[in-house]
Amino acid sequence: MSKVVASIMCADQLNLAQELTDLTDAGIDWLHCDVMDGVFVNNLAMGPYVLGPIIQTKRFTTDVHLACVNPEKYVEMFAAVKPDYITFHIETTNDPQGVIDQIHQAGIKAGIAVSPETPVESIFPYLAQLELVLMMTVNPGFAGQVFQTAVLDKIKRLNQELAGNSKRPLIEVDGNINCETSGAISQLGADLYVVGTSALFNNQLGTYRDKVLALEEVIQ
C-alpha cells in the first residue's frame, strides 16, 4: 500500500507541536526528516536536537535523509535519536557498504538516496542490503523546485532491476510531489510519496486531511 509522507522541514517551524497533531489528524504516520550540511547542498537543516523529540513521540515512522558529505559522522550523530530509517546519498561516500553496515549495526534500517543526475545503476550492488531507496525528483537542498521528468525512466529501471528479487526495499520519491506528478510515478511503482510545500504545507484552500485524501486517491 502506497503512503503519503510529510516532509517535516517544510512545516511551520514555530508551531511544530501543532503541526504534528494536525498531520496525525490528517492520517499521516510517516515523516521525512531532511538533514543538510551546507556542503553537499547549499542549505542547512535539521539538527538532532530538533528531530530527537519528534522521533521520540513514537507517533510516526521516521526516515532521516542525510544530504551531507561524510555521512558516517551524521549516521553516528542521528543514530542516537533512534529513527526508523537513515538514508544517505550514494554521491557522498566512497564506501557505501561501510555506511550501510554502520546504520545496521545501530539497529536502524538503511536507505540510499539517488540525485537526479546520478545513474540509478550505481546503487544496484547494494539493493539486497537496503530497506529503502530514495529517488530524488529534484536536486536536494530546497523545496519548490521543478519536477525532473527524466527521473521517471530511472524509477522504471529500478523496478525492472528489483523484479523477482526476494528482498525488495521500499521505493520513496521526493521532490515536487503533488497530485499531477505522483500520478505519473504511481504508474511505474513507488511506495512512499514525500510531500512538502507544493502539495501539503501551503496556503491553498483545504485542510491537511483534504490534501492527503486527494493524494491518496491518485497513488493507490
Alpha-carbon distance values, 136 to 65, 115, 140, 207, 220 (Å): 11, 5, 7, 26, 20
Question: How is residue 191 written as a grid cell?
Answer: 511506495
Helices (H), the chain: 16-25, 48-56, 71-79, 96-105, 151-162, 179-186, 208-219
Residue 95 annotated as catalytic: no
State how far the Cα of 98 lies from the Cα of 72, in Å rounded to an integer: 8
Q: Pick from 118, 183, 174: which is nearest to 142 by CA?
A: 174
Active-site residue, from 12, 22, 29, 34: 34
Q: Which amino acid is at 127?
A: L
Question: How is residue 204 written as a grid cell?
Answer: 491553498
Query: Over the Cα atoms of the chain, what is R_g?
Result: 16
Q: Pick from 104, 141, 107: which is nearest to 126 by CA?
A: 104
Burial class (CB in 10 A: 0-12, 13-18, 19+), 126: middle
Active-site residue, from 22, 84, 101, 174: 174
Residue 101 annotated as catalytic: no
Catalytic site positions: 34, 174
